[in-house]
């Protein structure tokens, strides 16, 4: 441990710098949390991982682009429309693409989602080209669109984009919580997640619950795609590639079947991504993705249920 101190970056400890990193980390973390939510919501009821979630989000973001940049709708009209469309698409995917092959094997579902990844990724590029477009701006994102907390130098400012991202995430979390914990639909969903057979026996329409899970997941994913576009300032067909991996890392850390875990995991991953490269000089920022992999590996090897997940014993 003492040896590590030799590699610590000195400027890390300047308050403004540190706070800026934390803010950025939490801002990205909010997006990772949203993506982790999409992973968990589907996993809870179906036990599947949707590897195509990122590409579906990218596609949705492009549709928003078309509606706003080309058809000139206001983004706050386009966004809800696209969210609803995404939810319908997600439900349809579950019913017609995933459910028929579910009975074959787990591997078959993995392959279908991988195929979907390939298809959507390439299709996005075929339809809209490979040149990046300017990022979507649900929130004002200019250089001066921020709240300056510390004048600096170095400056510590919180962008409106970051504030908006948090607001959206908080809104999503509240909406999901209310839906799952206070409504009958949510009770049905959680029952299916707990024990699918028993849920059938008490009359819960399991098919509809599975579709609901995918619909929620895809809807949240499309919101995530738009937020990523704002945060990165760009929009291209590889937008969500690495974001999804961070989402998986967050879901693993929090526990694949824990909604609370997805939020906490996402924020931690975001913070780690922001802080670690700047704390230790030998960790370059391009290695963030490797950090995500290390997190996934470490969690699965040491404590597979993550921080908040339920432990299921399957050992031979």
Partner 1 sequence: MALLEVQGLRAGYGPVAVLHGLDFEIPEHDIVVLLGANGAGKTTTLRALSGMLPASGAARIDGQSILGLSADRVCARGIAHVPQGRGTFNELTVIENLEAGAYLRRDTAAVKADIDRWCEVFPVLGQRRTQAAGQLSGGEQQMLAVARALMSEPRLLLLDEPSLGLAPLVTRGLFERLAEINASAGTTMFIVEQNANLALDIAKYAYVLEAGLIALQGPAADLASDDDVRKAYLGF
Partner 2 sequence: MNLPVVVERHSRAHRVWQAVGYALVAAAILLIAYTQPSYQLLNFSKVAAFAVAILGINIVTGYSGQISLGHSAFFGIGAYTTAYLVADKGWPFLATLPIAALLGLAIGFAVGLPALRIQGLYLALVTLAIAAVFPVVVKMDALANITGGSNGKPVAIDWTKPRWFSLDITNEAWEFLVVALIAAALFLVASNLIRSRVGRAIIAVRDNPIGAVTSGVSLSQWKTGAFAVSAVYGAIAGSLFTMVIPIVSPDSVGLALAFQLITGLVLGGLGTISGSLVGGLAMVFLPYYTAQYSGGKSLLFFDPVDSGLLANVVYGALLIGAMFVMPGGIVSFVRSVRNRLVRFAPQPPATPTQAKGTA
- Residue numbers of the site for partner 1 (CB under 8 A)? 184, 187-188, 190-191, 193-195, 197-206, 310
User: Cβ of residue 278: shortest distance to partner 1, in angstroms?
Assistant: 39
Neighbour count for residue 158 (Cβ, 10 Å): 18
Cα 171 to Cα 2: distance, rounded to the nearest angstrom: 43
From residue 289, alpha-carbon distances to 206, 212, 275, 293, 299 in Å are: 37, 31, 14, 6, 16
Cα 312 to Cα 309: distance, rounded to the nearest angstrom: 9
Cα 242 to Cα 246: distance, rounded to the nearest angstrom: 6
**Tokens read off for 93:** 């995917």
User: Cβ of residue 314: shortest distance to partner 1, in angstroms?
Assistant: 16
For residues 133 and 196, which CB has a smaller minimum distance to partner 1 in the complex? 196
**Tokens read off for 175:** 């909406």
Interface pick for partner 2 out of 22, 49, 85, 279 (rule CB under 8 A): 49
User: Cβ of residue 238: shortest distance to partner 1, in angstroms?
Assistant: 37
Cα 172 to Cα 178: distance, rounded to the nearest angstrom: 10
User: Cβ of residue 198: shortest distance to partner 1, in angstroms?
Assistant: 4
Whether 139 and 163 have beta carbons less than 8 Å apart is answered as yes
The answer to whether 114 contacts partner 2 (rule: CB under 8 A) is yes
Binding residues with partner 2: total (CB under 8 A): 48
The answer to whether 140 contacts partner 2 (rule: CB under 8 A) is no
Which of partner 1, partner 2, none is residue 125 near (CB under 5 to 8 Å by kind)? partner 2
Interface pick for partner 2 out of 107, 143, 201, 311 (rule CB under 8 A): 107
Which of partner 1, partner 2, none is residue 74 near (CB under 5 to 8 Å by kind)? none
The answer to whether 15 contacts partner 2 (rule: CB under 8 A) is no
Whether 50 and 61 have beta carbons less than 8 Å apart is answered as no
Across 281-305, b (16+ Cβ under 10 Å) vs e yields eebeeeebeebbeebbeebeeeeeb
- Per-residue x/- track, 232-261, partner 2 (CB under 8 A): ---------xx--x--x---x---------
Interface ranges with partner 2 (CB under 8 A): 47-49, 51, 97, 100-101, 104, 106-108, 110-112, 114-123, 125-127, 129-130, 241-242, 245, 248, 252, 284, 286-287, 289-290, 292-293, 296-297, 300-301, 304, 314, 316
């Amino acid at each position: 441990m003492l040896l590590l101190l030799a590699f610590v970056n000195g400027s890390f400890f300047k308050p403004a710098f540190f706070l800026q990193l934390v803010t950025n980390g939490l801002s990205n973390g909010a997006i990772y949390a949203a993506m982790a939510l999409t992973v968990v919501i589907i996993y809870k009821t179906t036990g599947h991982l949707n590897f195509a979630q990122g590409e579906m989000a990218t596609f949705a973001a492009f549709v928003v682009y078309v509606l706003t940049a080309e058809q000139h709708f206001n983004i706050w009209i386009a966004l809800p429309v696209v969210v609803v469309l995404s939810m319908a698409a997600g439900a349809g995917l579950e019913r017609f693409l995933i459910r028929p092959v579910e009975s074959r094997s787990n591997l078959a579902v993995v392959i279908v989602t991988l195929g979907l990844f390939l298809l959507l990724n390439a299709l996005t590029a075929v339809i809209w080209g490979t040149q990046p477009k300017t990022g979507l701006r649900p929130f004002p994102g200019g250089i001066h669109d921020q709240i300056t907390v510390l004048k600096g130098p170095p400056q510590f400012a919180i962008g409106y984009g970051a504030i908006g991202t948090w607001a959206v995430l908080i809104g999503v979390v509240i909406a999901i919580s209310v839906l799952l914990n206070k409504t009958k639909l949510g009770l049905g969903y959680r029952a299916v997640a707990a024990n699918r057979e028993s849920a059938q026996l008490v009359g819960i329409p399991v098919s509809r619950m599975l579709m609901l899970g995918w619909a929620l997941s895809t809807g949240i994913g499309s919101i995530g795609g738009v937020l990523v576009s704002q945060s990165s300032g760009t929009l291209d067909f590889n937008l969500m590639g690495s974001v999804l991996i961070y989402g998986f890392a967050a879901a693993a850390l929090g526990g694949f079947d824990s909604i609370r875990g997805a939020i906490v995991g996402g924020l931690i991953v975001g913070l780690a991504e922001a802080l670690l490269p700047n704390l230790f000089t030998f960790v370059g920022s391009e290695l963030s993705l490797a950090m995500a992999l290390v997190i996934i590996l470490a969690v699965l090897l040491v404590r597979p249920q993550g921080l908040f997940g339920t432990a299921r014993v399957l050992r031979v």
